[in-house]
Structure formats: C-alpha cells, structure tokens
Chain A
Amino acid sequence: MMLVELLEALIFPGFLFTIGLGFLFDWLERKVGAHMQGRIGPLVAGPHGLFQPVADFLKLLYKEEIVPSFADVAIYRIAPSLFFLAPILGMLFVPVIGTKAVATFDMDLLFVVFLLAYSAFVVVILSFSSASGYTTVASGRLVLQYVSYEIPLVIATITAAVFSGSLSLAGIVESQSRVWNILYMPFSFIVYIVAMMAELEKPPFDIPSAKTEIVAGWLTEFSGRSLAFLKLTKEVSLVFGGGLAVALFLGGPLGPMPANSVLVPVVYGTYFLLKLLAIVFLVFVLRTALARLKIAQAAELFWKILTPLALAQLALVIVLKGV
C-alpha cells in the first residue's frame, strides 16, 4: 500500500532510521576511539553521552551563520542541501529488512554509484564556492583525492556485480544466500574499505579537511545550520557506505532464518545491523590507529597499489565465473 511504503521511506528503514543510525555511529566513534586512547569520551548528555551528537547538532542549528563576503552565495547556500541529499537517498536503495530495499529497480547499482560520484562533485563545488585561502588548498586536495579513490571504489563494486551476475542490489543480495561474496573476492573488500575511508575523509585520508593544516579545509567557511547539516551528512555517509559494503560483500541482511514468518523483517534487520556494526568498528579501529597522509602519498597509494589490486581481483573473478 502507498501508506506503508511512505512510512517505510520516511521512518524505517528510510530517512529517520538513517539519520538515527548516523547519530548513533557518531557517538560510537567517539566512545570507541576514546576508550582505545585511554579516555572516557562523551559522558554527560544522556546515558553514557548517547545524545551528545544530537546536542551538538541542535547547538549548531541556532548559531549565527556568517557568509564570507567574496563567496559565491547561491552555491554556498544551496550546496549543503544538495550534499545532504545523496546518502539519504542512497540508503533507500540498500536492502535492510529483506532482499528488496525500500526503493528498488533493475540496475539500481549504477544509480548508487552515481550517487557516490555526485556527492563528491557537490563537495568540490561547495569548496570552490567559499573562496578563501584555506578552501582553495582544500579544493585542490579534494579533486586529487576524488580522482584517486573513485576508480578503485567502482572497480570493487563492479567486481561484486560481475560475480553475482546482476546489476541491482536486490539481485546481488539474493545471489549471496549460500556463500558471501567476500570469500570469493577478499581483496575487493579491502580495496572497497580503504576507498570508502577516503570518501568519508576518515584518517588516514582526512586530507581535504585536515584540521591542523588548513583549519577545516572545505568546511572552514561554513557555520550554523550549514555546518550542522554538513557534519550530519558526513556521518550518514558512513551509514550509506557501510550499508553498501554489507550488501555487496557480506550478504546484506541474509542469514539463518527462524521458521516464524512474522519475525522475518526483524531478524533481517538485526543481521544487517550486526554486519554494519562490524564494518563500522573496523573503520573506527583503522581510523584511530593511523596518522594522516600527505595528498601526494595518498594518490600514490591509490594509483600504485589499490587500483592494480582491484583490477587483478576483477580479472580473477571473471576467470572464476567463466570456469
């Protein structure tokens, strides 16, 4: 029915669910990172600091918004909303409570890859629109980083699609009902995770928004509402990227099922969440353990090591599939 689908899109597993997960992962990142460093992390807002990201978001909403005088005001105003749109929309295509997602069509993997490229493009024009010394440097770094990570990311995604024989996420998830894809293409998984960390700008790839070098990179000239939504988008991108990884490599929400059919969506949802938590935890450990690279070194890493690895894995998978 239309109403059920609308509610699904808006609340679960649609917009509110994604945003809620975004806040939850922000809290988890800060807590896990803090305990690994011997600290406590957020403590006061809510039980064990659970509402701290929400408090930060709400605080930023009512702060003053200062537009730099030589910025391109039209793009400056509209780009944060355009940026926020991408992962929210993309999450609607990731299967959460079944093999079919809230929105699905044949070949929707291409649309999802387009959304990844689109969000990077929006960040670049966002960064160019606020023209200051710091953001100019950040724009250069952004473009270079984007060019470097996009190709291995897409190759890894295509490898999963080739092996599953389908270009829609529902098809890919269904083809993993016996064995997960990661067992056939572990290197693609590694390449995907590293490229995803570059897309999300987590250390060691947080070069375009390097806090200690160019103040806040492309985030520098934003404040108030725009900054609140930009930060939220970065968190939701983690949910989206992680969800995509789960769908492509870890079999989506599939797993051993109980006989009772009423509980099926709940069990699917639980499996999805557990797998997503595993991926996200891996991202947090890598993030806390590594220093930031320079842009030339990051580009070298992607072009010299990860792209050939992804291509080799793709060739192997094609041979495997042919055999």
Chain B
Amino acid sequence: MPKKIGSAIPEMIRSMIKKPDTEAYPFTKITLPETYRGKLDIDPAKCTGCSICAYVCPAAVITMVDLGKRKVGEKELPVKRPKFDLFACIFCGECVENCPFGALEFTKNFEMATSQRETLVMKKALEI
C-alpha cells in the first residue's frame, strides 16, 4: 500500500462530525447488563446464620457475630448473623451462589466510593 502522511485524517474528520463516543458520565446515566455484579445486598428474613458465606469468602469480608442463644427442643443453639465489611469485597460471587437460602444478591450499585470505611459495613442482618 502506498505510504502517505496523514492517512488517519479521513477518519478524524468523520469522528469530528458525529457524536463523540465518550459518555459524560456524572451527567448522563449508564445502563448495566443483568448479570452485573455490584454491591452486595442481604435479605435478613432469609438468613439463618449457617455461616457458609463466611466459610467460602476468599477476602475475609464476612464475620459471624454472636447474638445469643435460642432453645430448640431441649438443646441450646447459638444464634449468629453475618456482618459484611464491604470495603474488602472482591465481588467474586462465592457467597451469593453458595448460600443455601438465597439470602444474598448482587445489586447494580457500583458507586461505592467513600471517605470513611464504616459506611461500607453492612449490618442489616444483625437486626433480628
């Protein structure tokens, strides 16, 4: 092919005429696909404290908090609920797929930037 100077110019003129491909993000909304893995959310009604999520998490995000004991028949069983330090979450999905009761799910919220770590601690499941 012949060498020339400025072989990129036709495409440059074309790009200048049509709309830019960049989205002015904070001023426009973004659509996310269905499978998107955003911030975690837990349904406290479905959680039973089985601790499987804490066992499989690779990033040590989930700690089980002791909330007392309850009587089942004659036995006394401990009651635990998970606390999520979402600052460390890597969004792998192990907890979501391994929960036997389907209590965890991914939302589409990705705007998690904060200046205080405490705002990302999810304690919803502790209030029972």
Contacts and interface: CB of A to CB of B under 8 A. Distances in A.
Partners in one complex: yes
A13 to B, nearest CB: 30
Nearest to A33: B12
Contact of A288 (B12, B20, B22, B24): B12
Contacts of A37: 12, 15
A43 B12 contact: no
Given A290-B5, A290-B6, A285 B12 contact: yes
Given A286-B6, A290-B5, A39 B12 contact: no
A34 interface: yes
A35 B16 contact: yes
A273 to B, nearest CB: 21
Chain A binding surface, main DSSP class:
helix
B8 to A, nearest CB: 5
Interface string B22-40: 1010000000000000000
B6 A36 contact: no
Contacts of A290: 5-6
Interface residues of A, number: 14
A289 B24 contact: no
B111 interface: no
Contact of B6 (A32, A35, A289): A289
B30 to A, nearest CB: 15
Contact of B16 (A36, A40, A43, A286): A36
Contacts of A32: 16
A32 B16 CA distance: 8
B21 interface: yes
Contacts of B20: 34-35, 38-40
A290 B21 CA distance: 21
B9 interface: yes
A197 to B, nearest CB: 13
A286 B7 CA distance: 11
A32 B22 CA distance: 14
Pick the most buried of A37, A43, A288, A290: most chain B CB atoms within 10 A of its CB: A37
A40 B15 contact: no
A58 B119 CA distance: 35
B22 A39 contact: yes
Interface of B: 5-6, 8-9, 12-13, 15-16, 20-22, 24
Given A36-B12, A37-B12, A39-B22, 16 more contacts: A32-B16, A35-B15, A35-B16, A36-B13, A36-B15, A36-B16, A37-B15, A38-B21, A38-B22, A39-B20, A39-B21, A40-B22, A40-B24, A286-B6, A289-B5, A290-B6
